[in-house]
Structure 1
Amino acid sequence: MPNPKNRLKVIKGLFDLCADAPVNERDTLLASSDATPEEQHEVKRLLTLHNTVDSNAQQTHIIGQQLRALSQSMPAGQMLGPFAIEEEIGQGGMGIVFRARRADGNYEQHVAIKIAPSFASADELQHFHQERQILARLQHPNIATLLDGGATDDCRPYLVMEYVAGKAIHEHCLAHQLGLKARLHLFIEVCKAVSYAHNHLIIHRDIKPENVLVTSQEQVKLLDFGIGKALQGEADRTNATALRGMTLAYASPEQIRGERTTMSTDVYGLGALLYCLLTGHSPHGLDNNSAEQAVEAICRTETTAPSRAQVDTGGIEDRRSLRGDLDNIVSKALRKEPDRRYASVSELQRDIERYLNREPVLATPPSFVYRAGRLIARHPAASALAAAVVIAINLGLAASLYLADQLRTERDSLLDAQREIKRQMYTAERTTALLTDMFEAASPARAQSRTVSVDKVLEDGARKIRETLDNDPAVKSQLLKSLAQLNYNVGKYHDAATLQQEALQQLETAARLQTGLRVTEAAHMRAELLIGLGRYQRESGAVNGAAAALEEASTLLEQYPDKRLQAQALHRKGQLISRVGSPDEAIEVLNTAKHIWQQMPDQGGALGLANSHSLSNAYFNKPDFPMAAETESVVLAERIKLLGESHPDTLNSYRFVARSYMRVGRWQEARELAQRAYQVSGKIFSTENKIFRHSAITYARLLGRLGDFQAAAEVLNPFLTGEVRELETTAELYHHRGYFNLNLGHLAQARADLEKAVDILGKIYPHNSDSTFLPRANLGEAMAVTGDAASGIELINQVKQENIVQYGADDYGVASWNLRLARIALHTGKLQEASELNQLSRSINLKTFSHDHPIVLQNDETEMRIALAQGDTLTAIELCKRLIETYEGIFPRDAPIIGRLQKLLRNMRNPV
């Protein structure tokens, strides 16, 4: 009797051959094949089906038939490793799932086993293996855990997963008649699972109710990463492949069109899932076989709001509870354009939490009435009492005051307008005079053959302003503010902060003298100065002062609102939090600012783009490198259009995209962008300018990653000659030059540089700030290799514990500190300890980075050097060859690290 598995392969292969051939040639192909009459009959039946149903339904039905045939070939009791098959519990285009139990007698355990179909193509098998790699990286209470894996007797791969005894989330809600709040709490748990996957650079791409189970203990489990995608350098599959794996009813527009999928694709999937939980059906009411309807509905038809949608069994019957915020949240998640959806799953999750807490949500346009309504909802009793008092007072006064107020308003408006025109004209005249004097001072006639520097011009300008205009402090304040901005632009952050504080003092004097400034106008001028002061102090390292200035500005703007200034204050606050606090908190603040900018006609222009630029930086710190690269790429394109390619802000974006590309493995593009930012910045700025410094650091880091430590150090040397100010950027320069010198073997210089870096940062940040982690750990390694091993190890362990407290034990930073400890153990001859620490580092790194990422390759190189130290030259040679091949696949061929490893390989093969 023929093997049913082999028979299925023959039928599938012959069907594929005939389906692609002209109809008049199919009989000839069938007759000339080795298939039996029964197999040929089955092929003819499938071809008939192929010609009579629509293009997507035919694949669905044919695959379904094959899977049913396959399921019969895996009978109950059949063993796969230590597990005995019990029954089939699910099937789809990417495999079939069985419930099984452990039968080796060790302990009782039920599992789910997913087996690849016997007819799977090479591409489908590749993605089955990818699912195993994805699941191995994900350890989360809301994600089904991978337990084991293997292959059947006929070489079909299978996965052994945690068995989840539960119902699909929509069925669970129906069975337990859950209310709105309970459903939203379940949805939040799904968001946490997806957000965790995104943090590990994985997108799911098939979020639907059937892939979210809820146990009897109300625990949510996300299943099936069969068409999931790792974000580090992996291209999307073809549209045809993706369509076979995904569920059309919950697919995003970009999936339907075969475009690139990103984290925003999962935001759409979560929006579709939420829609189902609220209404009982998918956003467009489609079944999986309606391909043409799906393309039209998903890509072009606007989704009916949940509160107006027809409710199926299992949806929320009270439609009024869905109006407003929930309609807006779902609408934002289901936008056709990915960049108009929530920026991240965490942002969607937080909006749901805000809704549950009766707080304003980002998806609803802000207004006084809306925010007041949310406040009243949170505090109904107090709000009712306050309203009653206000109404009673205002009704008594309104009639008598109305007419007088109208007359006063018209009179005051005319007088204010006259005063403002005069003040602006006078300010313009004084500014013109100041600028004329400043530039005349630099003219050849006045300079008398002396070279007049920019610093000298700015110092003279500040002196003249300070010595004049004492009788007009409001104008003096404006001129000091302009000069502060000029100093900031050339990198003189301390001077900028000093001038801005003087501007604030002059404004206070003007207010005391009652020089004609209205209260609201004076408040807005003060808020603007405080926002600028917060920015300058942050850049100069005065973090506490910056926080205080921004807090005062925010308080003023609550009393005297101004949307543009409020967005600026939130932006600067988000930047500060990103540097000294939680990236998630910074992202939330910056997204709030972004929402305000988006309400403006120009979306904030250059200021709105600066906010998105800071948002990209916060994502990088999170670390969400793909989102950082995606966000900054959009900013770069917009800045080129708005500002030009050589504008300082555009150069900053080139640098930011470059460093994000380094993290996701796009090395050639990263090198081109980083080199451009560095070279153009050098033509525009002095070595004290922050943009030039950061561009140099990014370019040097890239050169260091490619293995050219000498060139990297030479890039930084010009910034650290002569008198060097103790700025944060100075600390970064010393830190990176110290690291490069450490790798070059210049140990004394390396330790000196790293000690300076840590000393400067210690004056700026708290001792446990993550901004100090890397410099302190590198200093620890330098101390160890220069004879102070105990102190160096103690310092690295201290950093490691602080990292664990802030970000958890599986953070990739912890892996970095373990690697340094491994290298120290290798240096001191403790080879077993070195091997254990290196393996621990690798296991943590692989939760964030792919096997071929340079950060993981550092573990491979350390393993090679440990093998060499143990005298295992053959293993070291094999590891070295593998490293060279991997680097050649990801780096440009001229990367020095490749040449260095090739030289090492030759020396190992032919020792002197």
Structure 2
Amino acid sequence: MSNNSTPDLKTIKQLFDTCIDLPADHRERLLRESAAEVPILEEVRRLLAIADREADSQRHVDIIDRQLRDLSQNLQRGQQLGPYEIEQEIGRGGMGIVFLARRIDGNYEQKVALKIAPSFASREELRHFHQERQILARLQHPNIAMLLDGGATDDQRPYLVMEYVDGRPISDYCHDQQLDLDARLRLFLSVCDAVSYAHSHLIIHRDIKPENVLVTASGQVKLLDFGVSKVLQSDHQNAQVTQLKGLTLAYASPEQVRGEPTTTATDVYGLGTLLYRLFTGLSPHPCGDSSAEKIIEAICLTSPAPPSRVTKDGTVAFGSKLKGDPDNIAGKALRKEPHNRYSSVGELQADIARYLRREPVQATPPSFIYRSGKLVSRYPAASVLSLSVFLAISGGFAAAMYLASKLRDERDNLIVAQKEIKRQAQTAGRTAQLLTDMFLAASPRNAHGRTVDVDQLLDISVKNTRDSLQDEPAVKAQLLKTLAKVKYRTGKYKDAVALQLESLNIADSFAGPDREERAADLSKLGDYYREANDLESAFHALKQAEELLQQKPDPMLNAINQSRLGVVMEQWGKPRQAIEALNRAERYWRKQADKGGDTGTSTRYNLAISYYGIADFPTAAKLHKQVLDERIARYGKDHPQTLNSYHNLAQCYMRLNRLAEARKYLQLAYETGKKIFSPDHITLRTTARQYARLLRKMGYYRRGIDILSESLNVDAQNRETTALLLATRGNLYFEMGMLAEARDDLDQSYKIFNEILPDSSSISFLSRSILGEVMTATGDREAGFALLAKIRQLNAEQYGEDDYGIAGNDFRLARIALREGRLDEVQSHIDHARTINEKFFARNHPIQLELDILEAQLAVKQANFSQGRSLYEKLLARMMETFPEDAPILSVTRSALGETLLHTGEADKGRQLIAENLRQIEANTPPQAIQHQAGKIRANKLL
């Protein structure tokens, strides 16, 4: 067969997959009965014979490597896959080939990395490939290359479209930039952030090496290639065997090369090898010309030399700077036994951070001289001065007594430290055992044919932890706390609450943690409660943490706790209390060099939301713009968090009547979001809702309905966004006069809000208010008025009688009165709403213009066409200051003005206006819309 016989390869694969698990006689019968040509049958028989000679664990994997990988992956430059065009190959590995590609459909200019599975991939390879897609879809972190898209080739090869990272391996970047030791460590901490984030999502990378850690020209770290990652998800994975396939031996851990279970400790070792490379320019086990057997023996049995003694090209990389703590940190991460390494990536990060702050590190055994040396290095001037004064005053005897006392204190400290080290070792050992048990529970041998998913594995781990460790309460409390965090990360918020409470109760029973640790645990409990929609319990937990922190202040922990408290207050419908708490957190972040990093940005984001809630739109817009700039600098223009900021800033601009800017940001966010998010993603759905709201104001009713319906026609788990989307579409339907559809959407929205939010939550005020108006028009008049009155009261209690939400209530009462013919009441409601709105909105703001429309409609309803004409002319002038020239809402207004001209002696001009604007109205409103029907009625008057 020729190298270009892709259809033949597809047939071979189908026959091979069908036959591989059948007995020999059944295989032959199936092959004889197939319609395949003789060369194809011979090739299948040859591959089956090879497969039969292989060990079961290798059978499906190795055949492809030896036989058909290069044959089946020879894509040419210019070949198109979906909207992407191949440019060149940029890498290949055990799970596929990676190409540089670019999007060519004209909708979105972007270079991407496109990874394609082999066309003769085995079931095992395809499973790994699809697993990588699931892994990447779950990981959204600034230091992890993001999944953008996916698809399949014509011959059914799956492919992934990933963020293209234009960078260099971290080791090359450090060398080329001639980074000093501290700069390399700070860069390494970003790698740890990414790995730790993956671990929190139950994902182990298992192939950390310089080639999988790229650094861009701006200095941003990106972790790549989760192709050999391990995820606790399915019984298809054998937790007892780790294949060497796809790994680089120079950076593999002892347990990997021995085929033993891999845990998060495997990634700690991988990070250790990377750190060693950054220190020395070499891997801890250089391969050179050694055989694989010798390399494996070295990895398993030979401890690498301390980095400070390693030479490259005859020189030592950093010389004496690596002696002591750097040597010890790398050595601890590279221990042969997983339980002797750092128990987590977080511990490794913490030790490096301590080293950078010139504080004692865990990897170096404590001693008085060591601690004193660290103290002197942090405060050299003060230490020298103190020592001089001390020696001058105390003399030799006093110095001797002082040293004796210090030795006694050091002895006591060592005893305490030994106890703490023993407790931490017990916890680390138990944690390693817990992870091992979780992996083993997913193995086919223990699963007995069942599919074991993440939830089952966690439940097994929770039960095992609860049923054991009765004589080790401190270890048990720590493990339960860890499991609570994992439950939280996987969206099981109520389970996280229960486990965190259990951990706290156990800690209380054995004297418990210190105040700072207990405050941190209570603060996390508050966050878990909030996600579980128990805002009252969240508030009490966070207030308890606040009280403890007043007794033992910790500025950073206090800032985090206040930030969490602010979010709870906002969701509880108490924006002013939220602002107080968030400002307390922000005052701390402002003092930090990085303004608090991600956490500080999140605080400012929530602060902007709260200012928006009290109608301080200029402050909200300023904060949202700051957050947007920070996110663009940190993540880039297309990151999910950046897109979230686009639509929040646009929302503020809508309130400030800066509609052109609002439309620009919303259109950018929506169109970009559709290309990088799944349809059920919360950011995309929130953006769709906001974009549709702006389109409604501008008169693009059809487009607004289409966008909202597209977002609602997916199975999404976030119920709050579903409720908000339904409310927005219900309002749009109502604006168009489609009452049945409006009522159905608003009823569904109301039901969801009642189930997930307290009655006082302002998030649902608008949708419930719209429902009240719709109820008055659909047969539930009294209940509708009662609901409007209730929302008005709740709004006044939270925001005051002069809040713009009260003005919105009057606007709805005015529309109801106009519809019901109670014309004498309409103007009083309009006047009251106007008085309030003038405090918040410019005279040409859409909210003010809606009142102008009502006034003009009232004049026409009263047959006062002269006044109606005057009001419509003024309205049109204000609208033209606000909306783009092609906005359909202008055509609707011009058509209404034309009708008044028919009655005021300028019939020809009126007919012209009606005729000129009818096409625009018909193009942007469905036939059921009131605007559409009114335009047709006016046009019919001309016939």
Instruction: Give the TM-score taking structure 1 as reference length.
Output: 0.51
**CA distance change for structure 1 residues 760 and 279 in 2, over 3 Å: closer, same or farther?**
closer
1:672 maps to which residue? 498
1:786 maps to which residue? 614
**CA distance change for structure 1 residues 764 and 276 in 2, over 3 Å: closer, same or farther?**
closer
Task: State whether structure 2 residue 421 is matched by structure 1 residue 603.
Answer: yes
Instruction: Give, in angstroms, the shift of residue 70 of structure 1.
Output: 0.9
2:195 maps to which residue? 198
Q: Which of 746, 753, 759 is matched with 2:577 structurally? A: 753
Instruction: Give, in angstroms, the shift of residue 40 of structure 1.
Output: 1.9
Q: Which stretches in structure 1 are left out of the alignment for 5+ residues?
A: 378-404, 409-513, 525-559, 569-596, 614-625
Task: State whether structure 2 residue 126 is matched by structure 1 residue 126.
Answer: no
Deviations 1:590-648 (A, max 9, x none): xxxxxxx4xx36626489989x99xxxxxxxxxxxx9xxx9xx99x9799948876x8x
Q: How does 1:369-768 map to 2 (within 5 A)?
A: 519-520=402-403, 562=410, 565=413, 597=417, 600=418, 603=421, 605=423, 641=469, 658=484, 661-674=487-500, 676=502, 698-709=524-535, 739-740=567-568, 742-744=570-572, 750-754=574-578, 756-757=580-581
**CA distance change for structure 1 residues 123 and 730 in 2, over 3 Å: closer, same or farther?**
closer
Deviations 1:212-240 (A, max 9, x none): 7999x999998851516598x97797249
Contact map agreement 2:483 2:496 (CA 8 A) in 1: yes
Count of matched residue positions in the alignment of Structure 1 and Structure 2: 659
Contact map agreement 1:186 1:220 (CA 8 A) in 2: no
Q: Which of 51, 62, 78 is matched with 1:60 structurally? A: 62
**CA distance change for structure 1 residues 727 and 796 in 2, over 3 Å: closer, same or farther?**
farther
Query: Aligned letter for 1:243?
Result: Q
Tell me the distance in 1 between the aligned counterparts of 2:655 and 2:579: 21
Contact map agreement 2:77 2:86 (CA 8 A) in 1: yes
Query: Aligned letter for 2:578?
Result: L
Contact map agreement 1:719 1:733 (CA 8 A) in 2: yes
**CA distance change for structure 1 residues 89 and 878 in 2, over 3 Å: closer, same or farther?**
closer
1:11 maps to which residue? 12
Tell me the distance in 2 between the aligned counterparts of 1:718 and 1:376: 37
1:93 maps to which residue? 94
Deviations 1:433-489 (A, max 9, x none): xxxxxxxxxxxxxxxxxxxxxxxxxxxxxxxxxxxxxxxxxxxxxxxxxxxxxxxxx
Greater mean alpha carbon deviation, residues 816-825 or residues 279-288? 279-288
Deviations 1:17-38 (A, max 9, x none): 4432334544334323333221
Contact map agreement 1:205 1:246 (CA 8 A) in 2: no
1:43 maps to which residue? 44
**CA distance change for structure 1 residues 828 and 92 in 2, over 3 Å: closer, same or farther?**
same
SS of the residue aligned with 1:15?
Answer: helix
Deviations 1:79-131 (A, max 9, x none): 5679876876754331134578999999x999975432123445244245458
Task: State whether structure 2 residue 726 is matched by structure 1 residue 876.
Answer: no
Deviations 1:705-747 (A, max 9, x none): 34454675688899999xx999999999987676545445xx6
Q: Which stretches in structure 2 are left out of the alignment for 5+ residues?
A: 378-395, 432-453, 723-749, 758-763, 779-943
Tell me the distance in 1 between the aligned counterparts of 2:607 and 2:721: 32
Deviations 1:324-352 (A, max 9, x none): 87886655333345453346669869989
Deviations 1:652-674 (A, max 9, x none): 98667645643453434313224
**CA distance change for structure 1 residues 223 and 194 in 2, over 3 Å: closer, same or farther?**
closer
Contact map agreement 2:151 2:159 (CA 8 A) in 1: yes
Tell me the distance in 2 between the aligned counterparts of 1:706 and 1:67: 49
| Root-mean-square deviation (Å) | 7.4
Tell me the distance in 2 between the aligned counterparts of 1:735 and 1:223: 29
Instruction: Give, in angstroms, the shift of residue 701 of structure 1.
Output: 3.9
Contact map agreement 1:98 1:114 (CA 8 A) in 2: yes
1:499 maps to which residue? none
Contact map agreement 1:239 1:257 (CA 8 A) in 2: no
Q: How does 1:791-806 map to 2 (within 5 A)?
A: 791-794=619-622
**CA distance change for structure 1 residues 695 and 361 in 2, over 3 Å: closer, same or farther?**
closer
Tell me the distance in 2 between the aligned counterparts of 1:743 and 1:109: 38
Tell me the distance in 2 between the aligned counterparts of 1:758 and 1:243: 49
Query: Aligned letter for 1:673?
Result: L
Contact map agreement 1:146 1:160 (CA 8 A) in 2: yes
Instruction: Give, in angstroms, the shift of residue 4 of structure 1.
Output: 1.8
Tell me the distance in 2 between the aligned counterparts of 1:375 and 1:690: 23
Tell me the distance in 1 between the aligned counterparts of 2:376 and 2:721: 60
Tell me the distance in 2 between the aligned counterparts of 1:115 and 1:287: 32
Deviations 1:348-394 (A, max 9, x none): 699899999999986565668999999999xxxxxxxxxxxxxxxxx
SS of the residue aligned with 2:36?
Answer: coil
Tell me the distance in 1 between the aligned counterparts of 2:634 and 2:103: 39
Query: Aligned letter for 2:711?
Result: L
Tell me the distance in 1 between the aligned counterparts of 2:14 and 2:290: 25
Contact map agreement 1:703 1:709 (CA 8 A) in 2: yes
Query: Aligned letter for 2:617?
Result: A
Identity level (%): 31
Contact map agreement 2:520 2:545 (CA 8 A) in 1: no
**CA distance change for structure 1 residues 206 and 33 in 2, over 3 Å: closer, same or farther?**
farther
Contact map agreement 2:133 2:147 (CA 8 A) in 1: no
Deviations 1:110-168 (A, max 9, x none): 99754321234452442454587589x6777xx98999977544353446789999999
**CA distance change for structure 1 residues 840 and 655 in 2, over 3 Å: closer, same or farther?**
farther
2:246 maps to which residue? 246
SS of the residue aligned with 1:225?
Answer: coil
Deviations 1:389-445 (A, max 9, x none): xxxxxxxxxxxxxxxx9xx9xxxxxxxxxxxxxxxxxxxxxxxxxxxxxxxxxxxxx
Contact map agreement 1:780 1:793 (CA 8 A) in 2: yes
Tell me the distance in 1 between the aligned counterparts of 2:630 and 2:142: 22
Q: How does 1:137-156 map to 2 (within 5 A)?
A: 152-156=153-157
Tell me the distance in 1 between the aligned counterparts of 2:99 and 2:605: 48
